[in-house]
Structure 1
Amino acid sequence: MDRDTDKVAGKDGNPGSTQAPTVRVSAETAQEADLPARELFTALHAELTPELLIHALTHRSFAHEHPGMPNNERLEFLGDAVLELVATETLYKAHPDQSEGQLAKMRAKAVSEESLSAIARTKLHLGPYILLGRGEAENGGADKDSILCDTVESLIGSVFVEHGIDGARVTVHALLDDTLEEVATEGPALDWKTSVTVKAHRLGLGDPHYAMAVSGPEFAQVFTARLTLGDGDTVIGTADASSKRKAQLAAAAQGWKALDDPEVLASLQAEEAK
């Protein structure tokens, strides 16, 4: 392709992202960029050169269709390590009384695909910026959790390359501090399904059961989970989500909290006694 004139993103190049910005890649170094990235830089608390920014946003599917362009997987690898380091350091300092195992669970939750993809959507509005191959774009790649998560990590890696660990630390704190605070308030196992099981057993109740229902068209299915305990009929948690796992986790979170309600607990204990 003629990379001096080729537009490689947005309305001119990425069929799956009709609102995306346009990026112009020069022949050798991608020095010229028509990318409205000010909002992205503000959210990252760091600026990147056009070449490095484009590198960080280039998914392997796009690089495969444009020989000579590097994909962002090496930057993702680097960013993952930086992210884990800063998250570990933050949790270690913030929770001096927590065990190693508990800190590890907090970190795993904070840097999970679910958490990072949410950050990509809400703080970075990242989907339209990602450079995707035509097939991946047409399949909704700009809103896939895995791609969003990987791109967040590649951006963190890029900040490290450009600004070192101090700059990357600022970026990670800007993106992740809210999440790091939230995970410390979740159930004792930092996994709601495990937490509600442990709590139910401690109260002498049966195992959790999740009744699932699916509605909506195939491309936009909604999964509904209804949580009961043992052989009982009392529903202690109901949730809708875009996946079975997310629906069950949300229902489990409701159930874990419902077990603190004396009326709910009395009803469950009466069922268990039958």
Structure 2
Amino acid sequence: MTANVLLEALGTTIEPDLLVEALTHRSFSHEHEGAKNYERLEFLGDAVLELVSTETLYKVHPDMNEGQLAKMRAKAVSEESLSKIAREKLHVGPYILLGHGEAEQGGADKSSILCDIVESLIGATFIQHGIDEARRVVHHLVDDTLAEVATEGPALDWKTSLTVKAHEMGLPDPHYQTSVAGPEYALEFTARAILGGGGEVIGVGTGSSKRKAQLAAAEMGWKALDSRKGEMGGKQNGKTHKSHHRSHRKSNGGTQDAAQGK
């Protein structure tokens, strides 16, 4: 596979040295002195992506408030969404330069790295061509996702949705405990979603940042409570049916007694 295939999928041109930088993970730069990694470009690309996605949502959804727009943007530029773009639109995995250890651990298909690469490629596009071309590339990559998120419910913001779900069920507010492990260039955060002070863990999630891990834990927690709520509803319906049946039998019995002069 040549770089031209990747650039065709991206829909723009990037000069070779800048493209190499955009595809270089810090684990590779740690092993190769003088090699630049993509972190600065990722930082820039993240800002461009947020600007363009915010602008698009603002124009397309004039009836939505700030909170709704923020939730849609967060989902559209999430690790899950961007890594899907990296896999399915760009097929970028084989092009990523990784250190030996990271490569052995499957870094070329890690969602956190794929997400970073999408942002670094946007940053590289901005550096070489400016905001207009960068905006066009962002639209090319994420417009489908921006359209999809407008139809989603709780997935737009799992943490908020989990809190609302807990309130609906009369449960205490969830809180999160987060730990981190791994080398500096490949940190992995683990978060636990816990209900109130009782210590009940309802969800566990991992991610390349504290926020991503907590969102994953909140998603698992929301689904657990939603399932629990469904079970409770089924049991309640069963009780209501039995109660109605007993009342019906008593009513019939009373009617029969009266008819027999009892």
TM-score by structure 1 length?
0.63
Q: What is the CA distance between 1:95 and its match in structure 2?
A: 0.8
Larger Rg over CA atoms: 2
For residues 70 and 239 of structure 2, the distance between their equivalents in structure 1, rounded to whole angstroms, comes to 35
Listed as ranges, the matches of 1:104-253 within 5 Å are 104-187=70-153, 190-191=156-157, 194-195=160-161, 198=164, 249=219
2:190 corresponds to:
none
Residues 65-99 of structure 1 deviation map (CA, whole Å, 9 limit, x = unaligned):
11111111110110000000001000100111111
* Percent sequence identity over aligned pairs: 65
- Assess, with a 3 A threshold, how the Cα gap between structure 1 residues 164 and 121 changes in structure 2: closer, same or farther: same
For residues 14 and 239 of structure 2, the distance between their equivalents in structure 1, rounded to whole angstroms, comes to 60
- Assess, with a 3 A threshold, how the Cα gap between structure 1 residues 64 and 124 changes in structure 2: closer, same or farther: same
Q: What is the CA distance between 1:189 and its match in structure 2?
A: 6.8
Q: What is the CA distance between 1:182 and its match in structure 2?
A: 1.2
Matched, 1:267 2:247: no
For residues 140 and 271 of structure 1, the distance between their equivalents in structure 2, rounded to whole angstroms, comes to 49
2:20 corresponds to:
54
- Assess, with a 3 A threshold, how the Cα gap between structure 1 residues 168 and 272 changes in structure 2: closer, same or farther: farther
Q: What is the CA distance between 1:251 and its match in structure 2?
A: 9.5
- Assess, with a 3 A threshold, how the Cα gap between structure 1 residues 248 and 154 changes in structure 2: closer, same or farther: same
Give unmatched runs, 5+ long, in structure 1: 1-20, 22-35, 208-242
Q: What is the CA distance between 1:40 and its match in structure 2?
A: 1.5
Listed as ranges, the matches of 1:56-75 within 5 Å are 56-75=22-41
For residues 77 and 50 of structure 1, the distance between their equivalents in structure 2, rounded to whole angstroms, comes to 20
The answer (yes or no) to whether the contact 1:109–1:190 under 8 Å persists in 2 is yes
1:40 corresponds to:
6
Give unmatched runs, 5+ long, in structure 2: 172-212, 244-262
The answer (yes or no) to whether the contact 2:155–2:219 under 8 Å persists in 1 is no
Q: What is the CA distance between 1:249 and its match in structure 2?
A: 3.7
One-letter amino acid of the counterpart of residue 69, structure 1: A
DSSP 3-state at the match of 1:93: helix
TM-score by structure 2 length?
0.65
- Assess, with a 3 A threshold, how the Cα gap between structure 1 residues 256 and 197 changes in structure 2: closer, same or farther: farther
Residues 219-271 of structure 1 deviation map (CA, whole Å, 9 limit, x = unaligned):
xxxxxxxxxxxxxxxxxxxxxxxx997698489579979x9xxx999736416
The answer (yes or no) to whether the contact 1:114–1:145 under 8 Å persists in 2 is yes
* Runs of 4 or more consecutive aligned structure 1 residues displaced over 2 Å after TM superposition: 191-202, 243-257, 263-269, 271-274
For residues 235 and 144 of structure 2, the distance between their equivalents in structure 1, rounded to whole angstroms, comes to 35
Range with greater deviation from structure 2 (155-164 or 61-70): 61-70
For residues 147 and 235 of structure 2, the distance between their equivalents in structure 1, rounded to whole angstroms, comes to 32
For residues 272 and 107 of structure 1, the distance between their equivalents in structure 2, rounded to whole angstroms, comes to 43
For residues 82 and 153 of structure 1, the distance between their equivalents in structure 2, rounded to whole angstroms, comes to 8
DSSP 3-state at the match of 2:156: coil
Q: Which one of 78, 85, 93 corresponds to residue 51 of structure 2?
A: 85
Q: What is the CA distance between 1:198 and its match in structure 2?
A: 4.0
One-letter amino acid of the counterpart of residue 267, structure 1: G
Q: What is the CA distance between 1:153 and its match in structure 2?
A: 0.6
For these two proteins, the number of residue pairs brought into alignment is 203
The answer (yes or no) to whether the contact 1:63–1:71 under 8 Å persists in 2 is yes
2:63 corresponds to:
97
Q: What is the CA distance between 1:39 and its match in structure 2?
A: 2.4
For residues 239 and 155 of structure 2, the distance between their equivalents in structure 1, rounded to whole angstroms, comes to 25
- Assess, with a 3 A threshold, how the Cα gap between structure 1 residues 250 and 164 changes in structure 2: closer, same or farther: same
